[in-house]
Structure 1
Amino acid sequence: MNKWIQTGCAIVCSAFLIFALSACKQEAKLTKVKVAEVTHSIFYAPLYVAVSKGFFKEEGLDIEVNTTWGGDKTMTSLLSNGSDIALVGSETSIYVESQGAKDPVINFAQLTQTDGTFLVAREDIENFDWDMVKGKTFLGQRKGGMPQMAGEFVLNKHNIDPQKDVDLIQNIDFANIANAFASGTGDYVQLFEPTASLFEKEGIGHIVASFGEESGRVPYTTFMAKKTYLTEHEETAEKFTRAVYKAQQWVEKHSSKEIAEAIKSEFDDTEPDIIEASIDRYKKQNSFSTDPLLNEKEWEQLQMIMDQAGELPKHIPYSQLVDTKIAKKVTSEK
């Protein structure tokens, strides 16, 4: 072989080897963060955008998201160190604190700021009125969970006693509520997206109202971690929050169609038009937080809803379980 060719091959091989080693080294620098999400929903679109757009990797993080299906299981995962960060309703941190937790669970970044469920009726009601729910069978959510408490809050707001004025069913597991309604149980059901839009498309049910619009701003789903984790891994938590904020801003500035395209790999079994319709509903009612800051007014609204539902163990001051230091830092950066 010509010596110039040999030399050229050697240079190319060396360059490739250096590039490969550099890439491996860069990959090895990523810090692993295990995240437990309470459910897998289009409601959490900004989280999936942060993954698909590489915002976490830009911050040097390797994110592993596991769906833990339920607030109790999600919190168990966090408390047992099965996960580093939990994405779940803020009410769970209050429950843990009321039980005398030695290592409090701290809310440090907010993802959604309204309830994410919709009231789905079996019949197509042109001019829905909340009084129509009275005397009907209503498939609710888990007792003590934020969806159910927000649902009860809205019913009470419309002078409907959820314990007396409706036939309330609460003994069905979260994962099976939609299937129960599809099988013929209940006149009304409280559903997240994309199931609500899917049922509407298939003629199984019809969206007649939004619990998010009715219940107001609350820290519905937040990222939380044990206090010791935030202390010992403050830099990681900061990088995590910065990536989330990038995604929140991206979602705010882009169309529902573009967001649907970005997260479609997370919902392989869902048609693109359903993903887009679901995102559009959430965007229109401002369900996605545009920044990770959890404010005190929302925190108090949460506890008021819990108290009305009879589920508030005791009032917890905002400063006790909410730490906005990191969120304020990343949102103030230019």
Structure 2
Amino acid sequence: MTTLPRIAPMLATPGSLPPARSEHLWSTETKYDGQRAVVYLPGDHTVLIRSRSGEDITAAYPELHALADALGDVPVILDGEIVVLDEAGRASFERLQPRMGLAGSPAKAARLAAQAPAHLVLFDVLFLDGQDLTRAPYIRRRATLTQLIEAGPAWSIPTAVTGRCREALELAHAQGLEGVVLKRLDSVYEPGRRSPAWIKIRNVRTVDAVVGGWLPGQGRLGGLPGAVLVGEYEDGALVYRGSVGTGWSERERAELARLLDVAAIDDCPFTPAPAVPGARWVLPRLVAEIRYATRTRAGLLRHPVWHRLRPDLAPEV
């Protein structure tokens, strides 16, 4: 049995599409909304799965253990993302969340595996049969991966498209996917580093949301809003859609604080009232444009970011 080195996952840098003239230097893969995983298969039909932080999460995903038998005696380290798919075949972080954190509860993990089975998307190979592949270019590692792995009941290799970054991003947007990851064909694997050789681009969605409350900031933000609570009107009721705490400049935060102070009220304007300790309520008059990645099944915004106040819009009841 081969003793495998421990390798921290390489991370992508948020960015934008490369110039059209250099698209041929990049490969594009779908960005999956899941839990990053480095998979260690020493060749003795066992498997060890580590999270991005290095935690052993093997017991949380019993349905993935069969990968060890599928690869047999080949010592290998693989990089990928653990996801749970919805009815449309899209990765749903909301469905994955109950599966996370169960490494110490194998019985519960087994029960949930039957209800919301995990799927492992494998997109890189870092070590193979005694050879460290991290210094090999991405294009070679990708070819090795596709030769090594056949799709199984709980794992697969994502499609990679070379030279058509814009088309791939547009297609991901049309299919309601989270976004794409661009990888330079000549890039080496940089363990533990957030590298510009991998670029992640999220599909940006926007909503004109109504501000119904806020949470005070901490430390140097004392007295200023640390986050605002936003919602949308449905059948005449303001329905809570989540909190937004990033995206302001200092000037915008100060101006927002002034507007929130003027609009202060005692009663929660949301129906039903969200369980947000320490919230302060305001008249639902301010409209803000919020950027976000996706929505949960309950309608909450995921990864919301403040874009701008919309004084030109009135709340649409």
The TM-score range, normalised by the shorter chain, is under 0.3
The TM-score, its normalising length taken from structure 2, stands at 0.20
Q: Which has the higher helix share?
A: 1
The TM-score, its normalising length taken from structure 1, stands at 0.19
Q: Which has the higher strand share?
A: 2
Question: Higher relative contact order by CA 8 Å / sep ≥ 6: 1 or 2?
Answer: 1
